[in-house]
Amino acid sequence: MNYWWVSQNQTYRAEATGGYLWAPKTNADGSRNQHYDFMTEIQPYDLVFSYVGGRIKSIGVALSGAYTSQKPQEFGKKGQVWNKEGWRVDIDYQEVLIEVSPRDNWEEISKLLPNKYSPLNKDGNGAQAYLFRIGEPLAMRLIDLTSTLIPEKPVLEISQIDFRAEEQEIIVDQSLRETQKVQLVQARRGQGTFRNRVKIVERECRVTHVSEEKLLVASHIKPWDKSDNEERLNGNNGLFLAPHVDKLFDKGFISFESNGGLMVADSLSRDVLKKWSIDPTGNYGKFNSDQSFFLEHHRQEVFQA
């Protein structure tokens, strides 16, 4: 197993909710860059530490090696000087329990940094580059400091899953890589990498404020059968909802405005909301722009207006 440090100030949200790392293959002038070349050395099950805003924010598990991919559209204007073709690695991100600043633990962290291609400079600030290889002692110390367990090895082969008849279309799709098939089958069930990606943007059920994850459903905003494969795995296309709220949302009895207002279908008895202690006039928190995109579809196509 190898250990990696990725500095993602500009692109973390897009990469974490999309489940990947992405870097151009070369500098803008065509010259090689070791920090981009490191992408080709990542192997499945390697651990990746995300450094964002001066803190360790996530620990991810690599689900694939590097493969050629165009620069993600969700980067927008970020990285305008980057070449459009680059390396992509699929990652299952899991945010740490305690975000840690290496600079606040500089005395011990400085002794564990690599001598060459260090992710931090001599002052403890982040180096201006993307990907770095780090040693096991530093990786284990970061895990301890963040009070986070080493992520379990994810399933990477579809043969390890007892799939259902309705998932056969995914299994036989020759255009999908093996790991994609696994992710899609799990996403259809609200599990796996999709659930972890939803957790990055949604901490609790917006309606009940229950945060106990095992009691919540990772629900697609834009329904599964209306989404393409990328949308099916996008964390912004999901909400954590209590089971009874998920039922109302899935059947179109309720929806949300982008500003957090609740929309209630005329066909739903207000007595149901009263008994379930759901305030129809409440505001349940503003959604980000990507979530709003998917909510627009839900309001137009699912909600029983």
Residue extents of the structural domains in the chain: 3-145, 203-302
CA–centroid distance for 125 within its chain = 25
Which of 133, 145, 136 shows the shortest CA–CA distance to 107? 145
Q: How many CB atoms lie within 10 A of CB 142?
A: 24
pLDDT at 161: 79
- Residue 35 pLDDT: 96
Residue 270 CA to residue 273 CA, distance in Å, equals 5
Strand partners, 238: 220
3-state secondary structure of 288: coil
Given this model, what pLDDT does residue 103 score? Answer: 93
The pLDDT score that the predictor gives to residue 176 is 85
Ranges in the chain, pLDDT < 50: none
Please, which residues have CB within 8 angstroms of residue 241's CB and are 6 or more apart in sequence? 205, 206, 207, 216, 217, 219, 249
Measured CA distances, 18 to 166, 235, 243 (Å): 25, 6, 25
Class of domain 3-145: alpha beta
What pLDDT is stored for residue 78 in this prediction?
A: 79
CB distance 83 to 26 below 8 Å: yes
The predicted pLDDT at position 152 comes to 82
160 CB contacts (<8 Å, ≥6 apart)?
182
Q: Tell me the pTM.
A: 0.85
Q: How far apart are CA 235 and CA 216, in angstroms?
A: 15
Contact 210, 204 (CB under 8 A): yes
Residue among 172, 171, 152, 150 at smallest CA distance from 161? 171
The letter for the amino acid at 118 is: S
Q: Cite the DSSP H helix spans in the chain.
A: 12-18, 34-37, 106-109, 136-145, 168-171, 178-188, 192-201, 229-233, 243-250, 270-275, 289-297
Token pair recorded at residue 225: 């059968």
